[in-house]
Amino acid sequence: MEDVLEAAVEGFGWEGATSSESGRGVGLACGREKGGFVASVAEVAVDPASGDVAVVRAVTAFECGAIVNPMHLRNQVEGAVVQGMGGALFERIRFEDGRILSNRFSRYRVPRTMDLPKLKIVLLDRPDLPPSGAGETPIVAIAPAIGNAIFAATGVRLRSMPMVPDGLKAGG
């Protein structure tokens, strides 16, 4: 875990990462699952007028033992980070009067190209260990990193997902 934490903060440039700029925040989170270790750092910008939250940049470091196919693994991690951003910020099933309003894909918000931050993936190859799964682990750190960044930017601690499907409202 220490290795992925160090790789994530180094890849992000953590030194001086705390922003004095109003409405900006940086957050860090880590986790492990199925033999893999992941750490993510996210920087967000919160628009004070609208409450919109944008992930400006993110770094995810991942270690899952020996890397067999680096390009495939990088793509897997990038996809997991984007999917994790969707759950953190947008994806929800909407109801009204007992009916599902998001009953088709056009009404279910997922991350779009314009939502994607500058994304950096750092892979830690451990040829001394057998490869472990890379399918689930990379998703676990991005949402809490975004939540911590929102807290750093606003002082508001959000505890359910999606955190800001309609923008950040006063008091969360």
Q: Where are the alpha helices (DSSP H) in 90-168?
A: 142-154
| Confidence grade of residue 111 (pLDDT, cut at 50, 70, 90) | confident
Among left, alpha and beta (phi > 0; psi -120 to 50; other), residue 124 is: beta
| More confident call, 64 vs 102 | 64
78 is catalytic: no
pLDDT at 78 over 80: yes
Q: In this structure, which topology does domain 2-87+117-154 adopt according to CATH?
A: Aldehyde Oxidoreductase; domain 4 (3.30.365)
| Confidence grade of residue 172 (pLDDT, cut at 50, 70, 90) | very low
* pLDDT above 70 as % of the chain: 94
Q: Check residue 37 and give its pLDDT.
A: 97
> How far apart are alpha carbons 88 and 77 in whole angstroms?
16
Residue from 15, 33, 43, 136 carrying the catalytic annotation? 136
Q: Domain-by-domain residue ranges, the chain?
A: 2-87+117-154
Residues 11-69 pLDDT 10s: 999 876 666 578 899 999 999 999 999 999 999 999 988 888 999 999 999 999 999 99
Q: Check residue 17 and give its pLDDT.
A: 63
